[in-house]
Every structure is written in structure tokens, then in C-alpha cells.
């Protein structure tokens, strides 16, 4: 009956249950929290269109994304995923989905396996002393991060839904009591490096082989086989090198690049204390608790490489070392290629290859360092290949380059669009003070215009 009622609205939605192919020791069935209130604050209609959910009315939307009534063809019960991870380089076997779960899976229009992951949906066996909740401010921050990263060509989870849930939360890093929300993310899988670390810790090679095969099949379109672990690592090295490079070109600092926050598809996710660095400052840190600057702006490629090493260590459970070491060694070379691509893409010019491109990116970094020009301003002025004042050596080098796209979008005649912390706070304050969401919506519109002006960057990871 319920399915019949939903059918017309969800005709294009292709529910999936691929995760159920895996041993059930990887997850726990959980019950979502029941919230006193559900006020729809954000529905990502752009994303909803792409996955066949645009026709849901708000009441059905809330039924799915606050009460977690099953989506047709997908999971009957949400699953809290089990994983471990290195947190700031210390191994922690006590984590897992503590305030989120895998709510549903589906195939998007391109045939990619997509997960609906939640944050703030209630307690699970992995909550430890936590309340299983998310603050509204945390949810708003995640929307802002994902929208900005998407515009800047970074492969990221998308924020599909935010519903305010009417609870009063106590938090050390926000004036409390503070408002609560439940977030639903749309991501290209979210098997983490920490998923493999847990299986290595348990010496469960059988389950690890199954997870290797799952990731290769669903995210990389390949069959398993003898060299499956090394092939998987090779993909993860390639995708995370690309992700680290995209962070640099975006000026983004994730803040918590722990192994449990690294998706093996190389898609960025789980946004907590993130910040955009206003200037090219390698030492800029996002998290107030990152005292040693482990995840500082300029240390993100190294952090990602270290995380790949932990995946290699875990994969020793099902592979000899030499083939793993061989692919791991390619990280630096791949990162160099990717950071060149990422910076030239944002600069809006067609790469010429080799030494010439390297010269350009060195001139960009040098210029940003010496002029201290805000990164967003630099790329706004330089898009298409015109170096701003103070970048004289860059100007000379760019004479040989052609723009990859005309500078004819209205965005380029408007203000610079950035997402530095003071702007984030300036968007949050009117929401906190008087439920004024206008600055938030205006910002989303500006960010999407920036994205249109830059044009698409990413070819989808995995199966096309
Ligand atoms: P994160 O820093 O968001 O990646 O979280 C790290 C770990 O702490 C994960 O296992 C989370 O599920 C857990 N965690 C963080 N905040 C909470 C909370 N409020 N309630 C329960 N678990 C939490
Ligand atoms: Mg996390």
C-alpha cells in the first residue's frame, strides 16, 4: 500500500541494497531517534533532481529524512557501520557510526552506487558517551562546506537534507544550549580506510576479501582476483592524491583527516571543524584541538599519504607486502600531477604539460606567498589566465596559455565569492538570532553561480 502511494513520486528512484552482500558483522541494525520536532531547513533540489527524488512533497521528504521510513527498493532498517581508525595518529578501536547510519542506497543516473548517510540521527552501539546528535550550526556548516567544495570542483559528499529536530544540545564549542538537526548526506559509498583497519585488527581476512571485492566491483567497476588488494590500494592512492590536490586548489582545510574519515572512493566527507584558509598559509589549521598542526593546510597531502599507508598495513591481512609498497610509492608523483591539474583548472587555462605547467604553479604559490593576496581573490581576478598585479613572473609564463572557458559569466563581474570563517559566522548569526535564513540562501546562490562560472571539473569516480 505505502509503496503504491509512493510509486508515482519515486518512479525514477532506483533503490539498492548492495551493502547486504557483505557479512553482517560489518554493521548493526539501529533504530533512529524520535525527534520532538521536524522543521525542514534544507532540501537540495539540485541533488534530488539527479536521483529521482525531486517529486517528493515536503511531508514525504520529512518522513524519509527525519523519521527514516524506508525508501522503495532500499534498506528496511538503517545500519550503523562498524569501523576503527587512527585519530590524530592514535589507533582507536572504539569508534564506529556513533551518531549516524547508512539509511539507504541507490543507483544514480550514471549507474553509480550512492549511499545516504546520516549525521545526528540518534544513538547507536558506537555512541560511547555521546548523545548521537548534531547541532543545527554543524549542519549549516556542512551545507556551506559541501556547496563550496562542489563549486570548486572537489569531489565531495553532498548535503541532501537538513531538518531541525527541536532538541536543546550542550556543546563545548558552541554557546549552549544549542539547536539540533539531522543531516542526510549523499555520497559515492562510504567505506572508510578504518573499515579495513578494523578487519585487520580482528584478523578477519575472509570479511576483508569480501569488502575488497565490494569496493572494486561497485566503485571501480572491476572484478576481484589475486591482485585485488594492490589494485584497490592503487585506486585509493590515485583518488586520495587527487582529493588532497583539490583541497589545496580550493584553499580548503578539512581539519580531521583521520583514517575513519577517509572514504576509499576518495570522495571528501564528514565536515566538522573545517575552514577555508584566506591566504596561502601552509601552517593554517582548522581544528582548535589540532595543537600540533597535524592537519594544517600544507600538511594535507602528507596526511593523506600517511592514511594510504595505514590502508596498506591493513591490506597485509590479504596481500603480500611488495605489490602494496609499489603502488604506495606512487602517491607523491600522482599528487604532483593532480595538484598541477587542479590549480590550472581553477586558474581557467588549458594545461600545456610538463615543466611549463610546473613553472606556472610554482609562480602561483610564490605569488600567493609574497603578496598574501586572498586565494579566492587571486583566482577570481586571474580566471582565464590574466595574472593580477604583483604576479609579474606568472604573467610572463601565462602568455603561452589559452583560457579553457570564456570569462563571460556574470559571476566574474560580481564580488569575489569565498567562504572564510567570518563569513560563515555572519551567515550563522542571523539564523541563531532571528531565524533569518536569507543570508544563507543568498550565499548558496552565489556559490552555485561561482560553480557555473567555473564549469564542471570532475568526471565521476568509478563506474561511468
Ligand atoms: P567525527 O569526528 O565526527 O568523525 O567522529 C568521530 C567518532 O566520534 C565517530 O565514531 C562518531 O560517531 C563519534 N561521535 C562524535 N560525536 C558524537 C556524538 N555527539 N554522539 C555519539 N557519537 C559521536
Ligand atoms: Mg567521522
Domain definitions of the chain by residue range = 3-83+92-190, 194-340, 342-454
Q: How far does Cα 339 stand from its chain's mean position?
A: 18
Residue nearest to ligand 1 atom 7, measured at CA: 95
Atom of ligand 1 nearest to the CA of 130: 20
**pLDDT for res 9:** 72
Active-site residue, selected from the candidate residues 234, 260, 290, 376:
260
Q: Does ligand 1 have an atom closer than 6 angstroms to the CB of 173?
A: no
Ordered per-residue pLDDT tens for the chain, 464 residues: 344 444 567 878 999 999 999 999 999 999 999 999 999 999 999 999 999 999 999 999 999 999 999 999 999 999 999 999 999 999 999 999 999 999 999 999 889 999 999 999 999 999 999 999 999 999 999 999 999 999 999 999 999 999 999 999 999 999 999 999 999 999 999 999 999 999 999 999 999 999 999 999 999 999 999 899 999 999 999 999 999 999 999 999 999 999 999 999 999 999 999 999 999 999 999 999 999 999 999 999 999 999 999 999 999 999 999 999 999 999 999 999 999 999 999 999 999 998 999 999 999 999 999 999 999 999 999 999 999 999 999 999 999 999 999 999 999 999 999 999 999 999 999 999 999 999 999 999 999 999 999 999 855 443 33
Residue nearest to ligand 1 atom 13, measured at CA: 98
**pLDDT for res 12:** 87
Whole-number Å distance between alpha carbons of 186 and 49:
13
Whole-number Å distance between alpha carbons of 145 and 128:
27
Residue with the three cell numbers 592503487: 234
Q: Does ligand 1 have an atom closer than 6 angstroms to the CB of 141?
A: no
**pLDDT for res 58:** 97
Whole-number Å distance between alpha carbons of 411 and 319:
51
- Ligand nearest 121 Cα, by number? 1
Q: How far does Cα 156 stand from its chain's mean position?
A: 3
Q: Does ligand 1 have an atom closer than 6 angstroms to the CB of 95?
A: yes
Task: Return the bridge partners of 16, or none.
Answer: 105
Question: Does the annotation flag 137 for ligand binding?
Answer: no
96: CA distance to ligand 1 center in Å?
A: 8
**pLDDT for res 458:** 58
The question of whether 260 is a catalytic residue gets the answer yes
In this structure, are residues 303 and 185 in contact, taking their beta carbons and an 8 Å threshold? no
Residues whose beta carbons lie less than 5 angstroms from ion ligand 2:
261, 270
Question: Does the annotation flag 96 for ligand binding?
Answer: yes
Residue with the three cell numbers 534498506: 75
126: CA distance to ligand 1 center in Å?
A: 9
Residue with the three cell numbers 569496493: 215
Q: Does ligand 1 have an atom closer than 6 angstroms to the CB of 219?
A: no
In this structure, are residues 420 and 276 in contact, taking their beta carbons and an 8 Å threshold? yes
Q: How far does Cα 151 stand from its chain's mean position?
A: 13
Atom of ligand 1 nearest to the CA of 96: 10
Residue nearest to ligand 1 atom 6, measured at CA: 95
DSSP E strand stretches across 46-156: 79-81, 85-87, 90-92, 102-107, 113-119, 134-135
* Of the candidates 288, 185, 296, 292, the residue with the CA atom closest to the CA atom of residue 251: 296
Question: Does the annotation flag 131 for ligand binding?
Answer: yes
292-314 CB burial, b ≥16 within 10 A, e <16:
eebbbbebbbbbbbbbbbbbbeb
Whether the full predicted model's pTM is greater than 0.85, yes or no, is yes
74: CA distance to ligand 1 center in Å?
A: 25
DSSP 225: -
Ligand 1 mutation pick, 78, 79, 92, 98, max ligand atoms within 8 A of CB:
98
- Ligand nearest 263 Cα, by number? 2
- Tell me how far CA of residue 356 lies from CA of 352, 394, 400, 418, in angstroms: 7, 11, 9, 29
Question: Does the annotation flag 99 for ligand binding?
Answer: yes
Amino acid at each position: 500500500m505505502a509503496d503504491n502511494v509512493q510509486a508515482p513520486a519515486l518512479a525514477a528512484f532506483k533503490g539498492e541494497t548492495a551493502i547486504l552482500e557483505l557479512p553482517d558483522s560489518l554493521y548493526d541494525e539501529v533504530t533512529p531517534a524520535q525527534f520532538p520536532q521536524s522543521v525542514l531547513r534544507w532540501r537540495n533540489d539540485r541533488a534530488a533532481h539527479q536521483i529521482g527524488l525531486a517529486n517528493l512533497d515536503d511531508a514525504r521528504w520529512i518522513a524519509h529524512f527525519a523519521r527514516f521510513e524506508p525508501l522503495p527498493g532500499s534498506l528496511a532498517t538503517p545500519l550503523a557501520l562498524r569501523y576503527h581508525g587512527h585519530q590524530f595518529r592514535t589507533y582507536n578501536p572504539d569508534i564506529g557510526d556513533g551518531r549516524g547510519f547508512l539509511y539507504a542506497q541507490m543507483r544514480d543516473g550514471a549507474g553509480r552506487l550512492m549511499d545516504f548517510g546520516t549525521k545526528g540521527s540518534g544513538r547507536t552501539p558506537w555512541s560511547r558517551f555521546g548523545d548521537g546528535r548534531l547541532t543545527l550550526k554543524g549542519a549549516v556548516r556542512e551545507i556551506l562546506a559541501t556547496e563550496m567544495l562542489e563549486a570548486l570542483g572537489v569531489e565531495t559528499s553532498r548535503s541532501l537534507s537538513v531538518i531541525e529536530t527541536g532538541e536543546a544540545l550542550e556543546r563545548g564549542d558552541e554557546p549552549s544550549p544549542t539547536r539540533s538537526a539531522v543531516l542526510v548526506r549523499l555520497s559515492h559509498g562510504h567505506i572508510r580506510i578504518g573499515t579495513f583497519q578494523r578487519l585487520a585488527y580482528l584478523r578477519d581476512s575472509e570479511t576483508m576479501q569480501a569488502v575488497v571485492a565490494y569496493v572494486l566491483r561497485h566503485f571501480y567497476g572491476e572484478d576481484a582476483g589475486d591482485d585485488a588488494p594492490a589494485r584497490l590500494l592503487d585506486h585509493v592512492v590515485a583518488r586520495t592524491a587527487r582529493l588532497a590536490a583539490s583541497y589545496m586548489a580550493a584553499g580548503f582545510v578539512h581539519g580531521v583527516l583521520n583514517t575513519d574519515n577517509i572514504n576509499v572512493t576518495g570522495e571528501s566527507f564528514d565536515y566538522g571543524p573545517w575552514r577555508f584558509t584566506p591566504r596561502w598559509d601552509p601552517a593554517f589549521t582548522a581544528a582548535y584541538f589540532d595543537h600540533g598542526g597535524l592537519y594544517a593546510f600544507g600538511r594535507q597531502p602528507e596526511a593523506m599519504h600517511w592514511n594510504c599507508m595505514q590502508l596498506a598495513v591493513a591490506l597485509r591481512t590479504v596481500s603480500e607486502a611488495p605489490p602494496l609498497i609499489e603502488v604506495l610509492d606512487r602517491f607523491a608523483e600522482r599528487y604532483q600531477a593532480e595538484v598541477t591539474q587542479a590549480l590550472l583548472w581553477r586558474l581557467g587555462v588549458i594545461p600545456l604539460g610538463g615543466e611549463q605547467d610546473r613553472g606556472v604553479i610554482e609562480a602561483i604559490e610564490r605569488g600567493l606567498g609574497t603578496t598574501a593576496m586572498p586565494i579566492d581573490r587571486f583566482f577570481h581576478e586571474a580566471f582565464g589566465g590574466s595574472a593580477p598585479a604583483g604576479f609579474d613572473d606568472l604573467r610572463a609564463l601565462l602568455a603561452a596559455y589559452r583560457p579553457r572557458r570564456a570569462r563571460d559569466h556574470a559571476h566574474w563581474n560580481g564580488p569575489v565569492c569565498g567562504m572564510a570563517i567570518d563569513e560563515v559566522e555572519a551567515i550563522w548569526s542571523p539564523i541563531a538570532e532571528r531565524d533569518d535564513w536569507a543570508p544563507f540562501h543568498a550565499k548558496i546562490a552565489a556559490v552555485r553561480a561561482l560553480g557555473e562560472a567555473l564549469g564542471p571539473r570532475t568526471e565521476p569516480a568509478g563506474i561511468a
